[in-house]
Amino acid sequence: MSPLEIVAVFFNIAGVWLTAQRVRWCWPVSVVAVLLYAWIFFEVKLYSDMLLQGVFAVLQGYGWWRWSTGRMAAGKVQVERLPREQAWRHLLAGLLGALLLGALMQRFTDAALPWFDSLLTAFSLVASLWAARKYVASWWLWIVLDSAYVGLFLYKGLSLTAGLYAGFVILALYGLRTWAGELRRQESRSALDPACDSP
């Protein structure tokens, strides 16, 4: 456990908490978190996760933009239901991305666990895209991914980070409950007054 890991954990917790609260400041806070973790993952040879942090940094800008232009209710973004066809397309793209990245990491690097790391990396991008688009389903995917990450980080000796991701599972359950409740409220309001659904 290093001071850098402790600081990174703090920023990650803050970012996920703000996301669960539907506060758009989650995105700049998360930029700091992902940049810190990019360095940590480089040091332990989790190169796919290191690259993921770089992509996450770009996705934070996309998320900030999407949440800034989204409809706001009491200063918080409104959430949406993930269309089924889009979900399957994104999951297939995640699987293909995992296979491609895993093959590259296996062949060209000394990455630890190249296939498993690549699988988690690819589907983390899918989950991030869903979160940026305010889909409630993003929390389901994060619950699965964060649970798998706990095992990965324990294996790599990053016990504090493993604890962080165990905490992320709890925060993701909270986020799922919060966003799903908000979606039900939005849909109830729309059913009662269709005009309130217009931008």
Task: Tell me how many degrees the CA angle 130-135-137 measures, rounded to the nearest 5.
Answer: 85
Pairwise CA distance, residues 45 & 42, whole Å: 5
Is the pLDDT assigned to residue 66 strictly greater than 90? no
Between the ranges 22-36, 128-142, 153-167, where is the mean pLDDT highest? 128-142
- Within its chain, how far is the Cα of 5 from the centroid? 18
Is the pLDDT assigned to residue 94 strictly greater than 90? yes
Task: Tell me how many degrees the CA angle 135-25-53 measures, rounded to the nearest 5.
Answer: 70
Identify the weakest region by mean pLDDT among 5-14, 65-74, 143-152. 65-74
| Predicted local confidence at residue 71, as pLDDT | 60
Pairwise CA distance, residues 21 & 179, whole Å: 9
Could you tell me the pTM of the whole model? Answer: 0.82
DSSP letter assigned to residue 21: T
**Angle, nearest 10°, between helix axes 26-43 and 47-69?**
170
Tokens of 26: 């989650």
| Predicted local confidence at residue 63, as pLDDT | 87
What are the extents of the domains in the chain?
A: 3-197
From the number of C-beta atoms within 10 Å of its C-beta (0-12, 13-18, 19+), residue 196 rates as exposed
Q: Which helix H or strand E contains 141, and what residues bound it?
A: helix 137-155
| Predicted local confidence at residue 199, as pLDDT | 44
Please give the full DSSP string across 146-188, using - where no structure is assigned: HHHHHHHHHHTT-HHHHHHHHHHHHHHHHHHHHHHHHHHHHHH
Strands (E), the chain: 72-73, 76-77
